[in-house]
Amino acid sequence: MKRKTSKHFVVICLFFVLLTGFFGILLQKYAPLLFHNTIYYCQELIKSINTSTFSQRSNSMVLVPVFFILALVGIRLSTTVVQLIIMARKLSRQKIRYHSAILNKLIQDNNLRDKVVIIKNSQHIALCYGLLRPKIYLSTGLLNAISSNELGVILKHEKHHLEHNDNLSILFAHIVQNTFPLVPLLSDLVNNFRIEQEIAADAYAAEGGKRQYVASVLKKLLKEPQPAFAYFPSFGAEDTIQARIESLFFKKQYSSHFSTKNTTLSFFSILILLGLVITPALAIELHENGQDAIMVCINNQQCVTQCKENIRYIQNMSPALNKSTPYSPASTL
């Protein structure tokens, strides 16, 4: 069963390419400034950015927001990785052997042999989890609360996620969202994308007159608090249930929702990043007379070459102390 590529996922991928490019350029342009006490600004650079009052504090004014952004991205990405590791270990500890003739028959009917894992958990859990070899995880709490017909539609629903690699696409979308928190519009895109995928899986599970069983399971899930499995497709994801019920009962086509606040903040964040990216500056390491320093030139090869040739003539350069590291008189050229 083929499914059209989600426009939301396409936009998420475009944001990923754009923002990764921006941050790659920022690292290349500004990262060397963090590790040196002495910075020289080429006079051509100072003229190009029209800073007649350019002072020693100017580099700190630029570096603080740049490194705040880079640090925030690193922290969010690290947090995501840690959460995924914790989730993997938790599910691994909860695995059990479970024997059920009804479950085994449904697994066989849906060609899901070796694709279903049972975990000991009182909560109602059904999700498609894993990277290279994803599987369907069902909790004992869920199995004890549903009928065989309801179990059948849950397996079909999760099978749809397996066949379309939704585990990977949703994980990728959430990693992009968490890595770039300065663009909150990504949160809306990811939420819309997840709801679309769940509605598509519900439609597949409801084929053959099984719509009432899908609706019945959703109603039961609404009555119980659902665990959060944000990074992978989960049958009981609370933020998707309302739209799915409307789609099943009222044939209401899902309409994407975007927050005005998130859209506005994202617009200005991208403008700021773009401004930092197109700033005509290039940081170059210098190693003269056993001393290390950084020379900031216009992002132009002719300027770089000329500044390197005239490095011995300090009067052609404008020195400024890098406030991001302790001052060391011995390192001043």
Is 195 a residue whose pLDDT tops 50?
Answer: yes
Give the pTM. 0.76
Domain limits of the chain?
A: 26-63+279-331, 110-264
pLDDT, one tens digit per residue, over 181-190 is 889 999 999 9
Task: Give the model's confidence band at 314: pLDDT under 50 very low, under 70 low, under 90 confident, else very high.
Answer: very low
Beta partners for residue 234, in sequence order: 127
Give the pLDDT score at 309.
Answer: 61
Q: 184 — phi, psi (to 5°)?
A: -65, -15
Give the pLDDT score at 81.
Answer: 86
pLDDT, one tens digit per residue, over 127-138 is 898 888 899 999
Query: What tokens appear for 263 in the block?
Result: 């859209």
Q: In 246-269, which positions are buried (b, 16+ CB within 10 angstroms) versus exposed (e)? A: ebbeeeeebeeeeeeebeeebeeb
Distances, alpha carbon 24 to alpha carbons 16, 30, 161, 163, 182, in Å: 12, 10, 33, 34, 16
Is 65 a residue whose pLDDT tops 80?
Answer: no
d(CA 155, CA 279): 54
d(CA 184, CA 299): 31
